[in-house]
Amino acid sequence: MDRVAGETGIVEAPCGRLKGLTEAGICVFRGIAYAKPPVGRLRWRLPQPPAPWAGVRDATRFGNAAPQAPSRLGMFSGGGIGMQSEDCLYLNVWTPGCDGVKRPVMVWFHGGAFVFGAGHQPIYDARRLAARDCVAVTVNSRLGALGFLSLADVNDVPSTGAEGIADQALALQWVKDNIASFGGDPGNVTIFGESAGAMSVACLLASPAAKGLFHKAIAQSGAAHVGSGRERAAKVANAMLDKLGTRDADALMALPAGAIVKAQAAVLRDSRTGRRRLGGLPLQPAIENDVLPERPIDAIRAGAAAGIPVLTGTTKEEWKLFTVADPRLRFLSAANFARRVEQLAGAHAPAMLQAYGEGSPFERLNALMTDKAFFVPATRMLEAQEPHAAVFAYRFDWRSRFLGGMLGACHALELGFVFGTFADGRARAFFGKGPAAEALSGAMMEAWVNFARAGDPGWPRYDAGSRRTMIFGDGPPAPVSAPNDARRLAWDAMPEKRLGP
Position 9 in a domain: no
> Which pLDDT does position 4 carry in this prediction?
41
Q: Is residue 8 part of a domain?
A: no
| 445: containing domain | 317-501
How many angstroms separate the CA atoms of 371 and 312, rounded? 14
Inside any domain, residue 249: yes
DSSP assignment of 33-85:
E-S----GGGTTS---PPPP-SSEEE-SS--PBPP----TTGGGGT-----B-
Q: Please indicate, yes or no, whether residues 425 and 360 belong to a single structural domain of this protein.
A: yes
**Domain final position from 275, 308, 341:** 308
**pLDDT reported for residue 74:** 61
- Give the pairing type, strands 468-472 and 391-396: parallel
Judge if 241 and 94 occupy the same domain: yes
Q: How many domains does the chain have?
A: 2
Q: Helix, strand or coil for residue 465?
A: coil
Are 498 and 355 contained in the same domain?
A: yes
The answer to the question of residue 11 being in a domain is no
* 10 in a structural domain: no
User: pLDDT by residue (tens digit) across 235-248?
Assistant: 999 999 999 999 99
| Mean pLDDT, range 211-227, rounded to an integer | 97
Same domain, 214 and 131: yes
* CA angle in degrees (0–180, nearest 5) for 24-26-30: 110
The phi and psi torsions of 150 (rounded to 5 degrees) equal: -90, 105
* Strand pairing report for 478-481 and 468-472: antiparallel
- Check whether residue 295 and residue 346 sit in a common domain: no
Q: Report the mean per-residue pLDDT for the chain.
A: 94
- Which CATH number do you get for residue 188? 3.40.50.1820
The 3-state DSSP class for residue 283 equals coil
**CB 289, CB 161: distance < 8 Å:** yes
Residues 299 and 323 in one domain: no
The answer to whether position 18 is within a domain reads no
3-state secondary structure of 133: coil
250 in the same domain as 372: no
Q: What whole-number percentage of the chain has pLDDT above 90?
A: 86
Domain ends where: 284, 308, 332? 308
pTM of the model: 0.96
- Say if residue 21's pLDDT is above 60: yes
In angstroms, the CA 222 to CA 373 distance is 8
Give residue-wise pLDDT tens across range 365-378. Answer: 999 999 999 999 99
Tell me, what's the pLDDT at 1?
A: 41
- pLDDT tens for each residue of 162-187: 999 999 999 999 999 999 999 999 99
340 and 296 in a common domain: no
Distances from the Cα of 45 to the Cα of 36, 146, 292, angstroms:
11, 9, 15
5-14, 307-316, 317-326, 484-493, range with the lowest pLDDT: 5-14
Closest to 321 in 3D by CA, of 400, 415, 375: 400
Whether 1 is covered by a domain: the verdict is no
- Same domain for 460 and 484: yes
Active site positions, annotated: 195, 318, 411
Indicate whether 4 belongs to any domain.
no
* Shared-domain flag, residues 29 and 142: yes
| Whether 322 and 303 share a structural domain | no
Instruction: Look at residue 43 in the predicted model and tell me its pLDDT.
Output: 97
Residues 6 or more apart whose CB falls under 8 angstroms from that of 490 comprise: 348, 351, 352, 354, 355, 356
Which pLDDT does position 425 carry in this prediction? 83
In this structure, are 301 and 327 located in the same domain? no
Contact 9, 19 (CB under 8 A): yes
Count CB neighbours of 277 within 10 A: 9
Last residue of a domain, one of 289, 308, 327: 308
pLDDT digits (tens, 9 = 90+) for 340-396: 999 999 999 999 999 999 999 999 999 999 999 999 999 999 999 999 999 999 999
Pair 237, 152: CB distance under 8 Å: no
Q: What confidence score (pLDDT) does residue 241 get? A: 96
Number of C-beta neighbours around residue 357 at 10 A? 9
